[in-house]
A and B are shown apart, each in its own frame.
Chain A
Amino acid sequence: MYFFVLALPGRFGEWCDTLTARLAERMLGPTETMSANTLEEMARNVMRSGASQAVISSRQPGGLMGAALLATGRNFVVAIDDPRLALADLVLGRGTPLAAAVQQVASSCAAIANYLAAPGAMKLTHVGEGHQSRMIAGMIARHLGMTLDEAAIGETVEEVAATGLAPDRSAGLGWWDRLQGDDRRLAEGAIAPLVSYLTTGNLPPLLWERGLFFIGETGAERAAGTIDITGRARCLLHGPYVTLPPGAWSLALRLRLSRETADHEFRVEVVADSQLASGTLRSEGEGQVEVHLAFEIDGSDDHPLSIRLSTQRAAFDGAVTLLGATLVRAASDTVGL
């Protein structure tokens, strides 16, 4: 038997995973917790562990796994917290670099929002310790069809608390408020709109700063400054590998080109499971340019979105600086969550 907990990264999600697993264990015996965002990951983890019952903990549920879950009509748990606090948990609690943490939290918000109002979903938001924890544990048990009495539920909550895991927050919003400069822009542009999205369903434009992108074909080096285009035709930058909510989207990619890039063509692609849009930009010399592309996200993708910028022929000189990307979802796609 498999119980699904879809949650944002952070302590609250971890607490929900562990609590659900311990509750299942009381009813069924040994229960593993395994993370899986795709059907393939789930299959691999079940095959590796040989587990017959498990809590499937998903931070960025992919389209195919989500569709399979919804098709069963089975109940599942969706645990959300303020994305800014989830970000703080990752950065302060786990030492995740800010850009990687932004990428994880933003993807998680978009992926999980698809299930907040889905049939079978029970939405849990952050709770305090003690009495509220017991109440939430009871709600999880009942929603997932676990026949446990109040005493067993209370003991399970205490058992989880004894491990040091609690649904508290490692940091308040003070950490977020103290972010400054590039860090502030990086986090605010990608995460703040999602705070609004999770609470109201209204999604303001997303602003992806260049610190979310990577240099080269497949490299892991962040695109901090200008990129030298000298050399063979190649991919100059890619990223940010962030999941977007379903809908019709428009992308504005802002670049600054050096004088030497004149007459060069650059290819811009938007890719998820497959290519969603592409366009060509012809440089007319030094200056700031903007590339506009429109594409559709249907929610069935397993892979997050990336933007790729490539040269089309070899260059002897020249430089490109990514200034940022703005993504706007069509107003008609605003939905209540």
Chain B
Amino acid sequence: MVLLSIGLPGGFADWCDAVMVRLAGRLGGAVSLASWPNLAEMLGYVDVSGALDEVGRTLIRTNGAHLVMGTRKPDERLQAVVAETNTRFLVALDDPREAVADILAETNAPLRMATRAVANSCPLMMRFAALSGALTLDAAAAMTDPANTVRRIADHFGIAVTADDVGRIVEELSEVFRDPAPTNASADWTARIPEAGHKMVDGALTGYCEYFAGGDLGQLVWARDLFILVGDPSRGPTEPIDVSGGARYLLFGPYIELPSGSWTARVVLGFSPETAGHSFVVDAFAGRQLGATTVVPASEGIYTTEVTFTLGEQSGLGAEIRVMVASEIARGQLAFGRVVLQPLATREPDVAPGVSAEFRSVLDL
């Protein structure tokens, strides 16, 4: 039996995995726990799609009666199978900024990579949380009454537990997990992440915090620290960039997944006087070019340019915004500000078959 525990990387999802292992133990037979992908894979710039392959691989490797699959980056194929097989599963939602702080506490990863790893998981959490088989748990609410949370999880998976079982699970885990969902201000993410990085983390993730709290996605802001400078991938475009040297890309990134749908990216750029009259191209890319616009600064100053694009299925490596100098003879300097992403229309998964049927009927699909 496969028990799926989907969640943002961090303490709360790990706590939920551990609860499910103990609950699965009540079913009899050996229980295995696997967490996928690991943090190193999530932090890297490689495509880690293939959740179902990993479930199959883990089933063969563990050969246990029950497998608790802690999945931090589920994908479209897993979503399709979950829907097709009416699989019940858990979605563990934490404040994504707390998840970043948890990753930093566990690894020495650069903040931009930790932010990117969590931002990559968020759109997938949105999709899975909307499916009918999901039990969606919010960390802060769930941890105010852990015993009740354990009971809810048990009920969702149809596992019979006694009050003693629940008490034992909560007690065991309180020794293993010190504080899976910190609620006091001193342990808040702002205290665990260097202040210089707050703007980057907040911009990339606050929209998801609001969405997970029941609001709208609002906007996402990709700070310049998330981007990569062409010629020196270890650096972000934090300093002005010399545009002379021929037509070429100047910067790219951040390879972050976005929810499917139509988006506007407002890109803030600064130009020195020498760049006046030269062409710069800003495009959105995810496996292919999704949209592009050309900026020709008339004079020095700050410019905001818009690229509108539509994203379909998750691309694997995520979306990027690229800035290119298109003129061979351009001179001067370009400063990169940030990218503000605004959803125009996002595509929801088919959560209500009845509604879907109505649409099909009305639109004669």
Contact = CB atoms under 8 A, between A and B. Distances in A.
Contacts of A44: 52, 81, 84-85
A46 interface: yes
A312 interface: no
Given A44-B52, A44-B81, A50 B1 contact: yes
Contacts of A46: 1-2, 55, 59
B347 interface: no
A46 B67 CA distance: 11
Nearest to B85: A48
A198 B141 CA distance: 62
Interface residues of B, number: 22
A25 B329 CA distance: 77
Nearest to B67: A46
B63 A2 contact: yes
A72 interface: yes
A266 B21 CA distance: 57
A335 interface: no
Contacts of B65: 1, 52-53
Main secondary structure of the interface of B (DSSP, over half): helix
A297 interface: no
A314 interface: no
A41 to B, nearest CB: 8
Interface stretch (A62-70, A94-102, A129-137): A62-70
A67 B53 CA distance: 12
A69 B63 CA distance: 11
A47 B87 CA distance: 7
A72 B2 CA distance: 19
A69 B53 contact: no
Contacts of A39: 52-57, 60
Interface in B62-88: 63-66, 77, 81-82, 84-85, 87
Contacts of A40: 52-53, 56, 77
Contact of B56 (A43, A51, A72, A74): A43
Q: Which of A38, A47, A53 has the largest count of B CB atoms less than 10 A from its CB? A: A47
B61 A42 contact: no
A69 B29 contact: no
Nearest to A64: B53
B53, B65, B66, B84 — most chain A CB neighbours (10 Å): B53
Contacts, number: 69
A64 B52 CA distance: 12
Contacts of A38: 53, 56
A74 to B, nearest CB: 7
A36 B56 CA distance: 10
A74 B63 contact: yes
A50 to B, nearest CB: 5
Contacts of A41: 56
A23 B60 CA distance: 20
Interface in A18-72: 36, 38-44, 46-48, 50-53, 64-65, 68-69, 71-72
Contact of A71 (B59, B61, B77, B84): B61
Interface in A59-107: 64-65, 68-69, 71-72, 74
Contacts of B77: 40
Contact of A68 (B56, B81, B85, B87): B56
A43 B2 contact: yes
A68 B55 contact: no
A71 B85 CA distance: 29
A47 B53 contact: no
A50 B67 CA distance: 11
Nearest to B55: A43
Nearest to B81: A44
B362 to A, nearest CB: 30
Interface string B1-41: 11000000000000000000000000001000000000000
Interface of B: 1-2, 29, 52-57, 59-61, 63-66, 77, 81-82, 84-85, 87
Interface of A: 1-2, 36, 38-44, 46-48, 50-53, 64-65, 68-69, 71-72, 74
25 contacts: A1-B64, A2-B63, A36-B56, A38-B53, A38-B56, A39-B52, A39-B53, A39-B54, A42-B60, A43-B52, A43-B56, A43-B59, A43-B81, A44-B52, A44-B85, A46-B2, A46-B59, A48-B85, A51-B1, A68-B57, A68-B60, A68-B61, A69-B60, A72-B63, A74-B60
Given A1-B64, A39-B52, A47-B85, 12 more contacts: A38-B56, A39-B54, A39-B55, A43-B2, A43-B59, A46-B1, A46-B59, A48-B85, A50-B1, A52-B1, A53-B65, A74-B60
